[in-house]
Amino acid sequence: MNHITGIITTLNEEHNIEACINSLQTICNEIIVVDSNSHDKTIEIAQSKGAKTYIQSYLGDGIQKNFGLQYASNTWIFSLDADERITPELAMEINALDLEHTTYEAFAVKRKNYIGSRWIKVCRWYPDYLVRLYNKEKIQYTPVKQHACVPSKNKKKLHASILHYRYNNIGELFSKPARNYSSRGAKILYLNGKRANAFSPLLHGTAAFITNYFIRGGIIGGVDGLTLSIAIALNSYMKYAKLLEFQRDPQVLASENFNSVW
């Protein structure tokens, strides 16, 4: 087995963390959990599985994922979210790599995204290649609060996949527990100096629906494809509607906590 440190960022993931760690242990000799002040048994379970745990109030997507690097004893890192799993096929492929002598600085894996037990292949949900295995001495996650990635021009795509149990049901497409993506997106846009006009919500929402339903294959995905396209469009609409509200309503702007991305 290669010497790899697995890093997981968590918030109230007691229902996921054990299975996530179990899958990481098939390729990693060290597991680090960076927790954002969970009030359930996430930390207790992680420690019982042998993971090293650290508490850090949520800093944003890429910044939080990079936080655990300082505690990693290995050069190679595998980043996994709590609702993701490494498949046996991927474990076999990674364990066969010669990371000590490779010329690559990163490896990208396919991600299979699920709603319930249904693997969704439309709307860019597959193959959804992401760099997850990388050399921390050469690259790391972009230090941004939203949509962070590990940028690399010297990477190799692996054949096998990770599983992402993204939503338990289609209802969570519109209201995933403890998350509000449109509010987060609106706050980040506002802080970055972006501004909306009266037409922005409708234009962005409509464009998102057309792109995902007709161009990215939602139309061939049946009810799930249509529902996913609507959910993405609604999120885009609400993001710009909330941005516009920040501009139009001083009371709403004053009541919003811009130090928190959630």
CB atoms within 10 A of CB 63: 17
- At 262 the pLDDT is 56
| Mean pLDDT across 233-244 | 96
Q: 142, 167, 192 — which closes off a domain? A: 167
CATH classification of the domain holding 52: 3.90.550.10
Cα 227 from chain centroid (whole Å): 21
- Are 125 and 11 in a shared domain? yes
Residue 147 lies in a domain: yes
| Mean pLDDT across 25-30 | 98
Residue 261 lies in a domain: no
Residue positions counted in the chain:
262
Provide the token pair at 222: 């049946």
- Are 145 and 198 in a shared domain? no
Residue 219 lies in a domain: yes
Q: 122, 149, 167 — which closes off a domain? A: 167
Distance CA 38, CA 45 (A): 12
- Are 144 and 46 in a shared domain? yes
Cβ–Cβ under 8 Å, residues 145 and 261? yes
Residue 55 lies in a domain: yes
- Of residues 1 and 148, which shows the higher confidence score? 148
Residue 262 lies in a domain: no
Distance CA 39, CA 45 (A): 12
What domain count does the chain have? 2
- Are 157 and 186 in a shared domain? no
pLDDT at 259 over 90: no
For 83-115, what is each residue's pLDDT tens digit? 999 999 999 999 999 999 999 999 999 999 999
Provide the token pair at 195: 């501004």
Q: 120, 152, 167 — which closes off a domain? A: 167
Cα 159 from chain centroid (whole Å): 20
The chain-wide mean pLDDT, for the chain, equals 95
- Are 183 and 208 in a shared domain? yes
Q: CB burial class (10 A; 0-12, 13-18, 19+) of residue 75?
A: middle
- Are 64 and 151 in a shared domain? yes
Q: What is the DSSP string of 33-85?
A: EEES--SSSHHHHHHHTT-EEEE-----HHHHHHHGGGG--SSEEEE--TTEE
Helix runs in the chain, H state only: 17-24, 42-48, 61-67, 88-95, 181-191, 200-210, 222-248, 250-255
Instruction: Name residue 155's amino acid.
Output: K
- Are 96 and 124 in a shared domain? yes
Residue 260 lies in a domain: no
- Are 161 and 179 in a shared domain? no
- Are 94 and 146 in a shared domain? yes
Distance CA 209, CA 235 (A): 10
pTM score, whole prediction: 0.93
Residue 37 lies in a domain: yes
Q: How confident is the model at residue 178 (pLDDT cuts 50, 70, 90)?
A: very low
- Are 141 and 30 in a shared domain? yes
Helix runs in 117-194, H state only: 181-191
Residue 150 lies in a domain: yes
Q: Which domain holds residue 39?
A: 4-167
- Are 156 and 223 in a shared domain? no
- Are 159 and 96 in a shared domain? yes
Instruction: Name residue 137's amino acid.
Output: E
